[in-house]
Structure 1
Amino acid sequence: MQDEHTATLLDYYTRHQTSVQWRGFLSALAEEFETQLDPSQLRILMARIGARFAARYPAGDCTTLDDLASFLNAVWSELDWGFVRLVERDDYLSIEHACAPLAVFGERAAAWASAFLEGAYQHWLNELGAGSLALQEYQSANAHSYEFRLLKSP
Protein backbone atom coordinates (compact mmCIF):
# COMPACT_ATOMS: atom_id res chain seq x y z
CA MET A 1 0.00 0.00 0.00
CA GLN A 2 2.80 2.41 0.79
CA ASP A 3 4.30 1.80 -2.66
CA GLU A 4 0.99 2.84 -4.25
CA HIS A 5 0.87 5.89 -2.00
CA THR A 6 4.43 6.82 -2.88
CA ALA A 7 3.70 6.37 -6.59
CA THR A 8 0.63 8.59 -6.27
CA LEU A 9 2.66 11.29 -4.54
CA LEU A 10 5.38 11.12 -7.18
CA ASP A 11 2.77 11.28 -9.98
CA TYR A 12 1.30 14.38 -8.39
CA TYR A 13 4.71 15.97 -7.94
CA THR A 14 5.66 15.19 -11.54
CA ARG A 15 2.47 16.75 -12.90
CA HIS A 16 2.65 19.87 -10.73
CA GLN A 17 6.37 20.52 -10.51
CA THR A 18 6.52 22.72 -13.58
CA SER A 19 5.00 26.17 -13.30
CA VAL A 20 1.60 26.51 -14.96
CA GLN A 21 2.92 29.29 -17.16
CA TRP A 22 5.33 26.83 -18.86
CA ARG A 23 3.19 23.69 -19.23
CA GLY A 24 1.28 24.63 -22.38
CA PHE A 25 4.33 26.14 -24.03
CA LEU A 26 6.57 23.13 -23.36
CA SER A 27 3.88 20.69 -24.44
CA ALA A 28 3.38 22.59 -27.71
CA LEU A 29 7.15 22.80 -28.19
CA ALA A 30 7.42 19.02 -27.78
CA GLU A 31 4.62 18.46 -30.29
CA GLU A 32 6.35 20.70 -32.82
CA PHE A 33 9.67 18.97 -32.23
CA GLU A 34 7.99 15.65 -32.94
CA THR A 35 6.55 16.88 -36.26
CA GLN A 36 10.00 18.00 -37.42
CA LEU A 37 12.37 15.33 -36.10
CA ASP A 38 12.28 11.59 -35.43
CA PRO A 39 12.99 10.28 -31.90
CA SER A 40 16.67 9.55 -32.60
CA GLN A 41 17.19 13.09 -33.90
CA LEU A 42 15.33 14.47 -30.89
CA ARG A 43 17.59 12.49 -28.56
CA ILE A 44 20.64 14.02 -30.27
CA LEU A 45 19.13 17.52 -30.01
CA MET A 46 18.22 17.10 -26.34
CA ALA A 47 21.67 15.69 -25.51
CA ARG A 48 23.26 18.73 -27.16
CA ILE A 49 20.98 21.03 -25.16
CA GLY A 50 21.90 19.12 -22.00
CA ALA A 51 25.61 19.51 -22.73
CA ARG A 52 25.16 23.23 -23.39
CA PHE A 53 23.28 23.53 -20.10
CA ALA A 54 25.97 21.64 -18.17
CA ALA A 55 28.69 23.87 -19.60
CA ARG A 56 27.17 26.71 -17.57
CA TYR A 57 27.87 24.79 -14.35
CA PRO A 58 31.54 23.73 -14.36
CA ALA A 59 32.31 20.66 -12.22
CA GLY A 60 36.03 21.34 -12.06
CA ASP A 61 36.50 20.96 -8.29
CA CYS A 62 35.11 17.41 -8.07
CA THR A 63 37.78 14.84 -7.24
CA THR A 64 35.68 12.05 -5.69
CA LEU A 65 32.27 10.50 -6.38
CA ASP A 66 30.99 12.14 -3.19
CA ASP A 67 32.19 15.52 -4.50
CA LEU A 68 30.47 14.88 -7.81
CA ALA A 69 27.22 13.80 -6.15
CA SER A 70 27.25 16.92 -3.96
CA PHE A 71 27.94 19.14 -6.95
CA LEU A 72 25.20 17.56 -9.07
CA ASN A 73 22.64 17.71 -6.28
CA ALA A 74 23.47 21.36 -5.64
CA VAL A 75 22.87 22.19 -9.32
CA TRP A 76 19.61 20.26 -9.57
CA SER A 77 18.34 21.48 -6.18
CA GLU A 78 18.96 25.11 -7.09
CA LEU A 79 16.78 24.61 -10.18
CA ASP A 80 14.14 22.36 -8.56
CA TRP A 81 15.09 19.55 -10.95
CA GLY A 82 15.04 16.67 -8.50
CA PHE A 83 18.07 14.86 -7.16
CA VAL A 84 20.73 12.38 -8.17
CA ARG A 85 22.35 9.35 -6.60
CA LEU A 86 25.66 7.91 -7.80
CA VAL A 87 26.19 4.22 -7.23
CA GLU A 88 29.48 2.55 -8.07
CA ARG A 89 28.93 -1.01 -9.31
CA ASP A 90 31.54 -3.63 -10.25
CA ASP A 91 31.50 -2.78 -13.96
CA TYR A 92 29.77 0.59 -14.20
CA LEU A 93 28.86 3.82 -12.45
CA SER A 94 25.11 4.27 -12.11
CA ILE A 95 23.66 7.77 -12.17
CA GLU A 96 20.10 7.68 -10.87
CA HIS A 97 18.18 10.92 -11.33
CA ALA A 98 14.77 11.25 -9.69
CA CYS A 99 12.00 13.83 -10.03
CA ALA A 100 13.24 15.71 -13.10
CA PRO A 101 10.38 17.79 -14.55
CA LEU A 102 10.66 16.21 -18.00
CA ALA A 103 7.12 14.80 -17.84
CA VAL A 104 5.88 18.28 -18.74
CA PHE A 105 6.76 17.49 -22.36
CA GLY A 106 4.09 14.78 -22.38
CA GLU A 107 4.08 10.99 -22.49
CA ARG A 108 5.14 10.79 -26.13
CA ALA A 109 8.32 12.71 -25.32
CA ALA A 110 9.49 10.01 -22.90
CA ALA A 111 11.48 8.44 -25.75
CA TRP A 112 13.68 11.52 -26.16
CA ALA A 113 13.33 14.08 -23.34
CA SER A 114 15.64 12.22 -20.94
CA ALA A 115 18.50 12.71 -23.40
CA PHE A 116 18.77 16.21 -21.89
CA LEU A 117 20.01 14.63 -18.67
CA GLU A 118 22.21 12.19 -20.56
CA GLY A 119 23.89 15.06 -22.41
CA ALA A 120 24.41 17.03 -19.20
CA TYR A 121 25.90 14.09 -17.34
CA GLN A 122 28.12 13.13 -20.30
CA HIS A 123 29.42 16.71 -20.45
CA TRP A 124 30.26 16.77 -16.74
CA LEU A 125 31.91 13.35 -16.88
CA ASN A 126 33.97 14.39 -19.92
CA GLU A 127 34.98 17.56 -18.10
CA LEU A 128 36.24 15.40 -15.23
CA GLY A 129 38.27 13.11 -17.49
CA ALA A 130 35.94 10.29 -18.55
CA GLY A 131 36.40 11.38 -22.18
CA SER A 132 36.36 8.06 -24.03
CA LEU A 133 33.70 6.43 -21.84
CA ALA A 134 30.14 6.65 -23.10
CA LEU A 135 27.15 7.18 -20.89
CA GLN A 136 24.05 5.15 -21.75
CA GLU A 137 20.50 5.40 -20.50
CA TYR A 138 18.91 2.28 -19.03
CA GLN A 139 15.24 1.67 -18.48
CA SER A 140 14.49 2.47 -14.88
CA ALA A 141 12.02 0.39 -12.92
CA ASN A 142 10.64 3.64 -11.51
CA ALA A 143 8.66 5.91 -13.84
CA HIS A 144 9.88 8.96 -11.90
CA SER A 145 13.57 8.34 -12.25
CA TYR A 146 16.15 7.92 -14.97
CA GLU A 147 19.22 5.74 -14.85
CA PHE A 148 22.38 6.32 -16.83
CA ARG A 149 25.38 4.03 -16.74
CA LEU A 150 29.00 4.83 -17.37
CA LEU A 151 30.68 1.56 -18.24
CA LYS A 152 34.12 1.11 -16.78
CA SER A 153 36.93 0.41 -19.18
CA PRO A 154 38.16 -3.21 -19.29
Structure 2
Amino acid sequence: MVPILDYLLEHQISPQWRGMLTALASEFEAQIGRDELRQLMHRVGSRFAAAHPLPACESTAELARTLNLYWHDMDWGYVELADEAESLRIVHYCAPLQAFGGTALAWTPAFLEGVYQTWLSALGAQGLSVAQTSGYSEDTAIEFRLGRHPV
Protein backbone atom coordinates (compact mmCIF):
# COMPACT_ATOMS: atom_id res chain seq x y z
CA MET A 1 0.00 0.00 0.00
CA VAL A 2 2.88 2.42 0.65
CA PRO A 3 3.84 2.65 -3.08
CA ILE A 4 0.25 3.65 -3.82
CA LEU A 5 0.39 6.41 -1.21
CA ASP A 6 3.76 7.58 -2.52
CA TYR A 7 2.34 7.75 -6.04
CA LEU A 8 -0.72 9.71 -4.95
CA LEU A 9 1.28 12.13 -2.83
CA GLU A 10 3.79 12.66 -5.62
CA HIS A 11 0.94 13.62 -7.93
CA GLN A 12 -0.53 15.92 -5.29
CA ILE A 13 2.47 18.25 -5.66
CA SER A 14 2.39 20.48 -8.68
CA PRO A 15 5.31 19.69 -11.00
CA GLN A 16 6.13 23.38 -11.23
CA TRP A 17 7.06 23.39 -7.50
CA ARG A 18 8.62 19.96 -6.95
CA GLY A 19 12.21 20.70 -7.95
CA MET A 20 12.21 24.19 -6.51
CA LEU A 21 10.95 23.08 -3.07
CA THR A 22 13.47 20.25 -2.90
CA ALA A 23 16.31 22.62 -3.81
CA LEU A 24 15.05 25.17 -1.29
CA ALA A 25 14.96 22.53 1.45
CA SER A 26 18.47 21.32 0.55
CA GLU A 27 19.83 24.86 0.78
CA PHE A 28 18.05 25.44 4.09
CA GLU A 29 19.56 22.22 5.46
CA ALA A 30 23.03 23.26 4.29
CA GLN A 31 22.77 26.68 5.95
CA ILE A 32 20.53 26.18 9.00
CA GLY A 33 20.52 23.54 11.75
CA ARG A 34 17.58 21.17 12.22
CA ASP A 35 16.37 22.82 15.44
CA GLU A 36 16.43 26.24 13.80
CA LEU A 37 14.57 24.85 10.78
CA ARG A 38 11.88 23.47 13.09
CA GLN A 39 11.58 26.88 14.76
CA LEU A 40 11.37 28.58 11.36
CA MET A 41 8.65 26.22 10.12
CA HIS A 42 6.75 26.66 13.40
CA ARG A 43 6.79 30.45 12.88
CA VAL A 44 5.69 30.03 9.25
CA GLY A 45 2.81 27.83 10.45
CA SER A 46 1.83 30.43 13.05
CA ARG A 47 1.85 33.15 10.41
CA PHE A 48 -0.26 30.99 8.11
CA ALA A 49 -2.81 30.27 10.86
CA ALA A 50 -3.04 33.95 11.82
CA ALA A 51 -3.84 34.78 8.18
CA HIS A 52 -6.53 32.03 8.09
CA PRO A 53 -8.37 32.25 11.44
CA LEU A 54 -10.87 29.62 12.48
CA PRO A 55 -14.42 30.41 13.55
CA ALA A 56 -15.48 29.53 17.08
CA CYS A 57 -16.15 25.82 17.56
CA GLU A 58 -18.37 24.38 20.28
CA SER A 59 -17.03 20.81 20.31
CA THR A 60 -14.15 18.63 19.25
CA ALA A 61 -16.32 17.19 16.47
CA GLU A 62 -17.14 20.67 15.17
CA LEU A 63 -13.45 21.62 15.37
CA ALA A 64 -12.52 18.53 13.34
CA ARG A 65 -15.11 19.38 10.68
CA THR A 66 -13.88 22.97 10.50
CA LEU A 67 -10.22 21.94 10.25
CA ASN A 68 -11.00 19.39 7.57
CA LEU A 69 -12.85 21.98 5.50
CA TYR A 70 -9.75 24.19 5.57
CA TRP A 71 -7.36 21.35 4.76
CA HIS A 72 -9.63 19.96 2.02
CA ASP A 73 -9.91 23.33 0.29
CA MET A 74 -6.11 23.60 0.25
CA ASP A 75 -5.51 19.95 -0.69
CA TRP A 76 -3.50 19.47 2.50
CA GLY A 77 -4.90 16.15 3.67
CA TYR A 78 -7.16 15.69 6.66
CA VAL A 79 -7.09 15.53 10.44
CA GLU A 80 -8.57 13.29 13.10
CA LEU A 81 -9.05 14.60 16.64
CA ALA A 82 -9.58 12.63 19.85
CA ASP A 83 -10.18 13.93 23.36
CA GLU A 84 -8.00 12.06 25.81
CA ALA A 85 -7.61 12.33 29.57
CA GLU A 86 -4.72 14.81 29.57
CA SER A 87 -4.61 16.02 25.97
CA LEU A 88 -6.23 16.49 22.61
CA ARG A 89 -4.77 14.02 20.12
CA ILE A 90 -4.32 15.48 16.63
CA VAL A 91 -3.39 13.15 13.77
CA HIS A 92 -2.82 14.82 10.41
CA TYR A 93 -2.76 12.65 7.28
CA CYS A 94 -1.51 13.32 3.74
CA ALA A 95 0.11 16.71 4.26
CA PRO A 96 2.20 17.36 1.13
CA LEU A 97 5.40 17.78 3.12
CA GLN A 98 7.24 15.26 0.94
CA ALA A 99 7.45 18.05 -1.62
CA PHE A 100 10.50 19.29 0.28
CA GLY A 101 12.22 15.89 0.05
CA GLY A 102 12.56 13.01 2.44
CA THR A 103 15.19 14.51 4.75
CA ALA A 104 13.03 17.60 5.27
CA LEU A 105 10.40 15.45 6.98
CA ALA A 106 12.51 15.88 10.13
CA TRP A 107 11.60 19.61 10.29
CA THR A 108 8.69 20.43 7.95
CA PRO A 109 5.99 18.99 10.29
CA ALA A 110 6.75 21.94 12.60
CA PHE A 111 4.68 23.97 10.11
CA LEU A 112 1.59 22.01 11.20
CA GLU A 113 2.63 22.27 14.84
CA GLY A 114 2.69 26.07 14.49
CA VAL A 115 -0.64 26.11 12.67
CA TYR A 116 -2.37 24.00 15.31
CA GLN A 117 -0.76 25.95 18.16
CA THR A 118 -1.96 29.28 16.79
CA TRP A 119 -5.45 28.09 15.87
CA LEU A 120 -6.06 26.30 19.17
CA SER A 121 -4.66 29.15 21.26
CA ALA A 122 -7.00 31.56 19.45
CA LEU A 123 -9.89 29.23 20.29
CA GLY A 124 -9.09 29.39 24.00
CA ALA A 125 -6.31 26.88 24.67
CA GLN A 126 -4.04 29.43 26.36
CA GLY A 127 -1.46 27.85 28.62
CA LEU A 128 -1.47 24.65 26.56
CA SER A 129 0.97 23.75 23.85
CA VAL A 130 0.95 21.59 20.76
CA ALA A 131 3.83 19.13 20.50
CA GLN A 132 4.67 16.73 17.70
CA THR A 133 4.63 13.22 19.15
CA SER A 134 5.45 11.12 16.08
CA GLY A 135 7.43 11.37 12.90
CA TYR A 136 5.95 11.23 9.42
CA SER A 137 4.88 7.61 9.13
CA GLU A 138 4.46 5.30 6.14
CA ASP A 139 0.71 5.92 6.20
CA THR A 140 1.43 9.71 6.01
CA ALA A 141 0.27 10.31 9.59
CA ILE A 142 1.90 12.86 11.87
CA GLU A 143 0.66 12.97 15.46
CA PHE A 144 0.50 16.02 17.70
CA ARG A 145 -0.86 16.53 21.21
CA LEU A 146 -2.37 19.64 22.75
CA GLY A 147 -1.74 19.64 26.47
CA ARG A 148 0.62 20.68 29.23
CA HIS A 149 4.09 19.71 28.06
CA PRO A 150 7.30 20.12 30.05
CA VAL A 151 9.42 23.00 28.84
The answer for the alignment partner of 2:66 in structure 1 is 71
Measured after TM superposition, the shift of residue 52 of structure 1 is: 0.6
Pairwise CA RMSD: 1.5
Residue of 21, 26, 40 corresponding to 1:26: 21
Amino acid corresponding to residue 146 of structure 2 in structure 1: L
- Note if contact 1:96-1:148 (Cα within 8 Å) is conserved in structure 2: yes
Percent same amino acid at aligned positions?
47
Query: C-alpha deviations, 1:37-89, integer Å up to 9, x for none?
Result: 10000000000000111112211321211121111101110010000010112
What is the CA–CA distance in structure 2 between the aligned matches of 1:10 and 1:64, rounded to whole Å?
31
Query: C-alpha deviations, 1:2-44, integer Å up to 9, x for none?
Result: xxx3x22212112221000000110011011112210000000
TM-score, reference length from structure 1: 0.90
Aligned residues: 148
Name stretches of at least 5 consecutive residues in structure 1 with no aligned partner. Answer: none
What is the CA–CA distance in structure 2 between the aligned matches of 1:88 and 1:10, rounded to whole Å?
28
Name stretches of at least 5 consecutive residues in structure 2 with no aligned partner. Answer: none
TM-score, reference length from structure 2: 0.92
The answer for the alignment partner of 1:89 in structure 2 is 84
Measured after TM superposition, the shift of residue 108 of structure 1 is: 0.9
The answer for the alignment partner of 2:146 in structure 1 is 150
Residue 55 of structure 1 aligns to a residue whose secondary structure is: helix
The answer for the alignment partner of 1:62 in structure 2 is 57
Cα distance change, pair 41–150 in 1 and its aligned pair in 2 (3 A): same
